[in-house]
Amino acid sequence: MKNLLLGLSAILSLASGPLLANPQGVTNTTVKLGSHTDLSGPLAIGGAPATLAAQIRFDAANAAGGVHGRKIELVVEDTQYQVPLAVRATNKLVQNDKVFALFHSVGTQQGLATIPITDRAKIPYIFPLTAAASMAEPLHPLHFSYFVTYANQASAAIRYFYQKEKFASLCMQTHSTEYGEENRHGMEKVAKELGISVKLVGTHKPTDTEFAGAATAIKNAGCDFVYLGTTIKDTIALYATLRKLGFQGTIASNMLPFLPIVPQAGGGAMEGLQVVTPMGAVDWSAGPKERKAFYDEYMKRKGEEPSVYALYGWLAADLTIKALENAGRNLTVESFTKGIEQIKGYKDPFGGPTISFSPTKHFGGDQLLLYAIKGGKWELIEQNLKF
């Protein structure tokens, strides 16, 4: 209720702002979006394909005449996943480029540092490439994400495996960052609810590469289940080390390690890893026409199959286009954000769970998927996993 009241208060405050009636970044023929992302740093593996995929979707919309006669212009700034560069980029996009909204920007810490800039300018911060709860909670009229939060991913995974395995205790290993705190919050909430004993919560820096000590501590703690609030390389290292040490329990993680490279890592060492994710593996030989058209264009521009991050970029762009369509020709910040809130039961062409928004629901994800590594590839275990 407190979050709802804060959101309603912010809406009333925002309604009197002059930028709602005369938004920057909008002309009769164009609407300008800005993005700070990672094109050359440690998360370029996500930022680069997501940006390319978003541009492909916007290019297709522009080729069809734009949205209500307006072409979409995307201005992209590379932050190399560094917070100071993200702040500098956002100031440039807001003050110099005069963008209408910040779109699909990368990083939790980067978002926390840059959202205050966009809030002061009264422009939307939409569909960032992070599932951090802080991107759209507490409820705020300008903040929207189409993911399920990392905290809810953690609670969904733990709840599912508790109901399946009835384990008595768990351990967690995560980052010593805001991202790690969110994973921990989701874990502790469901553990308390279900009466699960938490034996150990270990943390490490995102840049750490050595995990023998962390894995040994987990094994010695005597837990039955392990949840990893990690990313890609540290997930691989931790999981492989735990199995090498002889840990036999279930190990699960969130959406971040759900990439084709993970099942192939370590010569089979990743067998059995399970992840909860808002996006599934895609069969490019079937499905709606949008799927094949995107695949062909991405292959033409990139020369490789689209990764899950490319799918995230395309979806963010498609949701933005639908919001612009819903907003109508008289495009304002208020009509645009209401246009997002009107999106219900959105079915993406890649087969993921539906996405829905409302005036009180600014995290769009409705459900999750559960995948496990079997035979060196991701295999779907559970659809429509609730959180």
- Per-residue confidence (pLDDT) for residue 127, from 0 to 100: 98
- Whether the per-residue pLDDT at 382 is higher than 50: the answer is yes
pLDDT value for 175: 96
- Claim to verify: residue 266 and residue 297 sit in the same structural domain: no
When computed from its CA atoms, the radius of gyration of the chain, rounded to whole angstroms, is 21
**pLDDT digits 0-9 by tens, 302-339:** 999 999 999 999 999 999 999 999 999 999 999 999 99
Q: What is the DSSP letter of 135?
A: G
Distance CA 259, CA 149 (A): 19
Mean pLDDT of 361-367: 97
Boundaries of domain holding 381 = 150-277+369-385
> Is a pLDDT exceeding 90 seen at residue 60?
yes
Same domain, 184 and 221: yes
> 2 pLDDT band (50/70/90 cuts)?
very low
Structure tokens at 293: 């058209």
Categorize the per-residue pLDDT at 275 as very low, low, confident or very high, splitting at 50, 70 and 90: very high
What integer best gives the mean pLDDT of the chain? 93
Please give the distance of CA 338 from its chain centroid, rounded to a whole number: 21
Least confident of 18-27, 130-139, 201-210, 338-347: 18-27
Confidence category of residue 21, pLDDT binned at 50, 70, 90: low
Place of tokens 């209720």: 1
What pTM was estimated for this model as a whole?
A: 0.89
Report pLDDT for 11.
43
Residue 363 in any domain: the answer is no
The letter for the amino acid at 256 is L
**Stretch 57-62: mean pLDDT:** 98
pLDDT higher than threshold 50 for residue 203: yes
Residue 361 resides in a domain: no
Specify whether 257 is located in the same domain as 304.
no
pLDDT on residue 22: 83
Q: 108 and 222, same structural domain?
A: no
In this structure, are 98 and 240 located in the same domain? no
State the pairing for strand pair 125-126/143-144: parallel
Check which CATH number belongs to the domain holding 170 and give it. Answer: 3.40.50.2300
3-class DSSP state of 262: helix
Coil, strand or helix at 312: helix
Q: Is residue 264 part of a domain?
A: yes
Instruction: Return the structure tokens found at 77.
Output: 């700034």
CB-facing half-sphere around the CA of 60: CA atoms within 13 A: 15
Check residue 18 and give its pLDDT: 42
Q: Give domain status of residue 92, yes or no.
A: yes
Q: Which residues pair with 72 in a beta bridge?
A: 31
Number of domains in the chain: 2
User: Which pLDDT score, from 0 to 100, does residue 4 have?
Assistant: 40
Same domain, 261 and 211: yes
Same domain, 328 and 187: no
- For 24-50, what is the mean pLDDT? 96
* 190: confidence class by pLDDT, cuts 50, 70, 90: very high
Q: Is residue 260 part of a domain?
A: yes
Question: Quick one: 32 and 134 in the same domain?
Answer: yes
Place of tokens 């409302």: 358
pLDDT at residue 206 in the model:
86
Q: Are residues 139 and 154 in the same domain?
A: no
The pLDDT of residue 76 is: 98
Exposed (0-12), middle (13-18) or buried (19+): which is 87, by Cβ within 10 Å?
Answer: middle
Q: Taking residues 178-201, what's their average pLDDT?
A: 96
* Residue 242 C-alpha from the chain's centroid: 27
**pLDDT at residue 120 above 80?**
yes
Provide the token pair at 23. Answer: 């938004």
Q: What is the mean pLDDT of residues 37-59?
A: 96
| Secondary structure letter of residue 352 according to DSSP | P
Q: Within a domain: residue 293?
A: yes
pLDDT exceeding 90 applies to what percent of the chain? 89
DSSP E strand boundaries for 38-154: 71-78, 101-103, 125-126, 143-144
Which tens digits make up the pLDDT trace of 251-270? Answer: 999 999 999 999 999 899 99
Looking at residue 6, its pLDDT comes to: 42
Residue 7 reports pLDDT greater than 70: no
Q: Is the peptide bond before 42 cis (omega within 30 degrees of 0)?
A: no
Note whether 234 and 334 are same-domain residues: no
Q: Is 45 among the domain residues?
A: yes
Q: How many other CB atoms are found less than 10 A from the CB of residue 288? A: 12
Q: Which two tokens stand for residue 327?
A: 């907003």
Q: Residue 367: helix, strand or coil by DSSP?
A: coil
Q: Both 11 and 131 in a single domain?
A: yes
**Residue 175, CA distances (Å) to 28, 179, 207, 208 in order:** 46, 7, 10, 10
Residue 362 inside a domain? The answer is no
Asked if 138 and 204 sit in the same domain, the reply is: no
